């Protein structure tokens, strides 16, 4: 077993690894949950890039005369109009952009930080690992969104700040998973062999171990992407990270939530369902990927 | 057991200490200034410096940390910027309200999640299992305010059975009516998690040798379920749930905002918007300490119920 894995990772190179990847991809595309999730995700990605294609109105155009037009094709509004007379459907399409920029960027940063930290913790162990583990444990007793709020008291709430903030808060959580994966790899023969060859630590971590913990990294990425959307939406809902009046889903739901009480459900419910569809799609993908890699 | 408890308590104290450093560091050390954030970008540098001095946020870091942490140990988290009164005048009431909400949530979600998960495990692979698993997965990842909005629309607006928000005051019945919708909202997210754990636990217990023995020696199915399956699957489920408490506590933020429920979550949201740093730090510290306490209790409970730990054998 150990011999075989040494073989694939060092001597018998790219072809076999590429075959494994290809086989994994083929199986992914046979999974129904993966395809459904992917289709929804592609739909929102498309709208984040080019919301104007499907939108019927300018999302910022307001008109008191069309306040609270009821949904389903009344007065040219597919899903009705909100309290400012703006088109609910178009705003929902434009609302995808902010979250589709912030969540993936934050996740990429989080995974990068997490992988570097996790590799170092798992490879070096010792006091560095002990101290870092303690800090991560303390940090994880707090919901990410609360720590983000704390930091936002002194930082400006721009897009870049939110991306960095969520990224760096996810990093330690991801590091824990990567560390666990590295710990099992660390004692395998190929690592010992590289150490005996006199390779430097960074070479062993990034060239030898990293490719072998690829599975957990992919799983973490998809799972964390879902949480990034969740966190960003929550922050927007309590009023951070987006400007008032922005079509962003979390922000819109917060601003339109009181209309509900007048039995006007569409301005808040449409972005709510859009948000739900995005999170569910990401989690369907994550579930499919996880099922495949864990097997 | 005593040694285990002492070691676990010691670790908790250390983690609490680190938590206080983390909170202080995140809210204070990051680039940016509280005075600038409060006064806005057009304020003069002098007035920003003056405000920073008034608020006591311009000195060296270590003395400031010691002052904050020293006060915190004695239950003094300083004065709120917004109310100009001690933070501790506000925290206990909010905490109490949130605890009420948390208990209401657990009363709903614990039985539902355990029954749902065990039921799904018994019908593993069948349609009802798929429905429970998929709806649980969906609920677990849907933001609380999405679920909350749908519930409000149905039960508060269309049916007009329950209030759409407000705080738990007045008679017990009135309080329960106010608590139902926010508690259901929080339950939805937790249900997915809890039922998944309960299902996994039950599947493991169902496959275990002791369950087969119990069935083969002719015990009625009900007895097998209660005495062999549930008894073994419940504990890990509850322990894992307790470790997810920080998640529930994070959910309070949006849920209480949506339902205008005056608890810790709404207090934190207001403090964050008003940049009321002492209030925010104290409330967030409280949340972290609470989550840690829950994990500690769950760990101790698990240890106590597990003879191998209780009787002092090392794992």
The answer, yes or no, to whether residue A26 has pLDDT greater than 90, is no
Pairwise CB contact (< 8 Å): A134 & B18? yes
Residues of A in contact with B255 (CB under 8 A): none
pTM: 0.83
Pairwise CB contact (< 8 Å): A260 & B157? yes
What local confidence, expressed as pLDDT, does residue A278 receive?
Answer: 92
Q: Which residues of A, range 257-276, sit inside 8 Å of B by Cβ?
A: 257, 260-261, 263, 265, 268-269, 272-273, 275-276
Residue A248's SS3 state is coil
A244 inside 8 A of chain B by CB: no
User: B239: distance to nearest CA of chain A, Å?
Assistant: 15
pLDDT in tens, B272-297: 888 888 898 899 998 888 888 888 88
Pairwise CB contact (< 8 Å): B292 & A141? yes
What local confidence, expressed as pLDDT, does residue B309 receive?
Answer: 65
Report DSSP letters for chain B, one per residue. -HHHHHHHHHHHHHHHHHHHHHHHIIIIISSS-HHHHHH-TTS-HHHHHHHHHHHT-SS-HHHHHHHHHHHHHTT---B-TTTSSBGGGTHHHHHHHHHHHHHHHHHHHHHHHHHHHHHHHHTTTSHHHHHHHHHHHHHHHS-HHHHHHHHIIIIIIIS--S-SS----SSHHHHHHHHHHHHHHHHHHHHHHHHHHHHHHHHHHHHSHHHHHHHHTT--HHHIIIIIIIHHHHHHHHHHHHHTHHHHHHHHHHHHHHTT--SHHHHHHHHHHTT-HHHHHHHHHHHHHHHHHHHHHHHHHHHHH-HHHHTT---
Judged by average pLDDT, the poorest of A29-33, B89-93, B249-253, B282-286 is: A29-33
**What number of C-beta contacts closer than 8 Å exist between A and B?**
161
User: Nearest residue of A to residue B274 by CA position?
Assistant: A153
pLDDT in tens, A104-139: 999 999 999 999 999 999 999 889 998 898 888 888
What local confidence, expressed as pLDDT, does residue A4 receive?
Answer: 41
pLDDT in tens, B35-94: 766 676 677 777 777 777 777 666 677 888 888 888 888 888 888 877 878 888 889 999
Residues of A in contact with B284 (CB under 8 A): 142, 146-147, 149-150
pLDDT in tens, B146-169: 889 889 888 888 787 877 777 767
Pairwise CB contact (< 8 Å): A153 & B141? no
Rounded Cα gap, residues B143 and A250, in angstroms: 10
Residue A87's SS3 state is strand
pLDDT in tens, A65-106: 777 767 877 677 777 777 777 778 888 889 899 899 999 999
Give the nearest partner residue to B141 out of A134, A226, A269, using CB atoms: A226
User: Nearest residue of B to residue A134 by CA position?
Assistant: B15
- The backbone region for B169, taken as left when phi is positive above 0, alpha when psi lies in -120 to 50, beta otherwise, is beta
Give the nearest partner residue to A150 out of B27, B141, B146, using CB atoms: B27
Q: Which residues of A, range 124-183, sit inside 8 Å of B by Cβ?
A: 134-135, 137-147, 149-156
Note the ipTM here.
0.81
Q: Which residues of A, range 204-243, sit inside 8 Å of B by Cβ?
A: 226, 230, 233-234, 237-240
Using CA atoms, how far residue A33 sits from A103, B119, B126, in Å, is 21, 23, 17
Pairwise CB contact (< 8 Å): B145 & A253? yes
Cα dihedral sign, B128-B129-B131-B132 = positive
Residue A3 — pLDDT band, cuts 50, 70, 90?
very low
Pairwise CB contact (< 8 Å): B142 & A144? no
Pairwise CB contact (< 8 Å): B157 & A147? no
Pairwise CB contact (< 8 Å): A143 & B149? no
Residue B212 — pLDDT band, cuts 50, 70, 90?
confident
To test the contact with chain A by mutation, choose from B20, B40, B68, B149 the residue with the greatest count of A C-beta atoms within 10 A, namely B149
What local confidence, expressed as pLDDT, does residue A167 receive?
Answer: 93
pLDDT, greater one: B137 or A254: A254
User: B145: distance to nearest CA of chain A, Å?
Assistant: 8
Pairwise CB contact (< 8 Å): B145 & A237? yes
User: A21: distance to nearest CA of chain B, Å?
Assistant: 27
Give the nearest partner residue to A154 out of B37, B152, B250, using CB atoms: B37
User: Nearest residue of B to residue A277 by CA position?
Assistant: B142
Residue A60's SS3 state is coil
pLDDT in tens, B78-136: 888 778 788 888 899 999 999 899 889 989 988 898 888 888 888 887 888 888 887 88
Give the nearest partner residue to A153 out of B15, B27, B164, using CB atoms: B27
Query: Which of A24-33, A192-201, B222-231 is most confident?
Result: A192-201
CB B178 within 8 A of CB B168: yes
Residues of B in contact with A241 (CB under 8 A): none
User: B307: distance to nearest CA of chain A, Å?
Assistant: 27
The answer, yes or no, to whether residue B8 has pLDDT greater than 50, is yes
Pairwise CB contact (< 8 Å): B22 & A138? yes
Pairwise CB contact (< 8 Å): A143 & B28? no
User: A234: distance to nearest CA of chain B, Å?
Assistant: 7
What local confidence, expressed as pLDDT, does residue A295 receive?
Answer: 57
What local confidence, expressed as pLDDT, does residue B227 receive?
Answer: 79
To test the contact with chain B by mutation, choose from A34, A92, A133, A142 the residue with the greatest count of B C-beta atoms within 10 A, namely A142
User: Nearest residue of B to residue A224 by CA position?
Assistant: B141
Instruction: Annotate B23-65 with three-state secondary structure.
Output: HHHHHHHCCCCHHHHHHCCCCCHHHHHHHHHHHCCCCCHHHHH
pLDDT in tens, B235-248: 777 777 776 777 77
Q: Mean pLDDT across chain A, nearest whole number?
A: 83
User: Nearest residue of B to residue A281 by CA position?
Assistant: B138
Percent of chain A scored above 70 by pLDDT? 92
Give the nearest partner residue to A141 out of B143, B157, B246, using CB atoms: B246
pLDDT in tens, A178-232: 998 998 888 889 999 998 998 898 999 999 999 988 888 988 898 899 889 988 9
Residue A77's DSSP bridge partners are A74
Give the nearest partner residue to B149 out of A239, A269, A287, using CB atoms: A269
Give the nearest partner residue to B269 out of A137, A143, A238, using CB atoms: A238
The answer, yes or no, to whether residue B256 has pLDDT greater than 60, is yes
User: B163: distance to nearest CA of chain A, Å?
Assistant: 10
């Amino acid at each position: 077993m150990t011999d075989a894995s040494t073989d694939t990772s060092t001597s018998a190179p790219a072809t076999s690894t590429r075959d494994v990847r290809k086989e994994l991809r083929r199986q992914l595309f046979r999974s129904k949950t993966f395809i459904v999730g992917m289709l929804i995700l592609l739909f929102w990605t498309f709208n984040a890039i080019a919301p104007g294609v499907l939108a019927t109105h300018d999302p910022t155009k307001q008109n008191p005369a069309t306040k609270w037009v009821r949904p389903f094709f009344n007065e040219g509004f597919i899903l009705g109009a909100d309290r400012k007379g703006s088109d609910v459907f178009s705003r929902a399409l434009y609302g995808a952009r902010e979250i589709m920029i912030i969540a993936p960027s934050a996740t990429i940063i989080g995974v990068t930080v997490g992988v570097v930290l996790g590799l170092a913790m798992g490879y070096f162990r010792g006091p560095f690992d002990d101290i870092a583990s303690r800090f991560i444990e303390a940090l994880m007793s707090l919901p990410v969104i609360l720590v983000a709020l704390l930091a936002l008291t002194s930082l400006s709430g721009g897009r870049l700040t939110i991306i960095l903030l969520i990224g760096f808060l996810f990093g330690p959580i991801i590091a824990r998973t990567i560390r666990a994966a590295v710990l099992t790899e660390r004692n395998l023969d190929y690592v010992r062999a590289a150490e005996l060859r006199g390779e430097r630590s960074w070479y062993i971590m990034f060239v030898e171990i990293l490719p072998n913990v690829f599975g957990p990294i992919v799983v973490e990425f998809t799972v964390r992407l879902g949480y990034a959307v969740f966190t960003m939406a929550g922050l927007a809902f309590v009023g951070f990270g987006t400007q008032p009046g922005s079509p962003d889903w979390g922000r819109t739901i917060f601003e339109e939530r009181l209309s509900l009480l007048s039995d006007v459900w569409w301005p808040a419910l449409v972005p709510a369902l859009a948000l739900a569809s995005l999170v569910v799609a990401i989690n369907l993908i994550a579930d499919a990927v996880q099922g495949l890699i864990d097997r | 057991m005593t040694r285990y408890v002492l070691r676990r308590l010691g670790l908790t104290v250390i983690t609490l200490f680190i938590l206080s450093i983390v909170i202080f560091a995140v809210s204070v050390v990051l680039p940016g200034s509280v005075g600038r954030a409060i006064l806005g970008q057009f304020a003069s540098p002098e007035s920003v410096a003056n405000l920073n001095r008034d608020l006591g946020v311009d000195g060296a870091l270590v003395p400031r940390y010691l002052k904050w942490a020293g006060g915190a140990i004695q239950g003094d988290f300083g004065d709120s910027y917004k109310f100009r009164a001690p933070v501790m005048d506000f925290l206990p009431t909010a905490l109490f309200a949130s605890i009420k909400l948390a208990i209401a949530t657990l009363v709903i979600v614990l039985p539902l999640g355990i029954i749902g998960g065990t039921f799904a495990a018994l019908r593993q692979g069948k349609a009802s299992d798929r429905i429970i698993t998929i709806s649980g997965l969906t609920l677990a990842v849907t933001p609380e305010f999405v679920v909350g909005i749908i519930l409000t629309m149905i039960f508060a607006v269309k049916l007009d059975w329950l209030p759409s928000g407000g705080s738990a005051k007045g008679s017990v019945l009135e309080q329960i009516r106010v608590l139902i919708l926010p508690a259901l909202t929080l339950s939805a997210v937790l249900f997915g998690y809890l039922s998944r754990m309960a299902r996994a636990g039950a599947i493991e217990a169902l496959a275990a040798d002791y369950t087969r023995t119990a069935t083969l020696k002719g015990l009625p199915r009900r007895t097998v379920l209660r005495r062999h399956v549930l008894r073994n699957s419940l504990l890990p489920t509850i322990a894992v749930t307790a470790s997810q408490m920080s998640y529930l506590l994070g959910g309070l933020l949006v849920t209480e905002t949506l339902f205008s429920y005056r608890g810790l979550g709404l207090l934190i949201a207001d403090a964050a918007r008003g940049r009321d740093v002492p209030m925010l730090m104290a409330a967030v510290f409280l949340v972290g300490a609470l989550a840690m306490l829950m994990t500690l209790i769950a760990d101790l409970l698990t240890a106590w119920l597990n003879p191998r730990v209780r009787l002092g054998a090392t794992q």
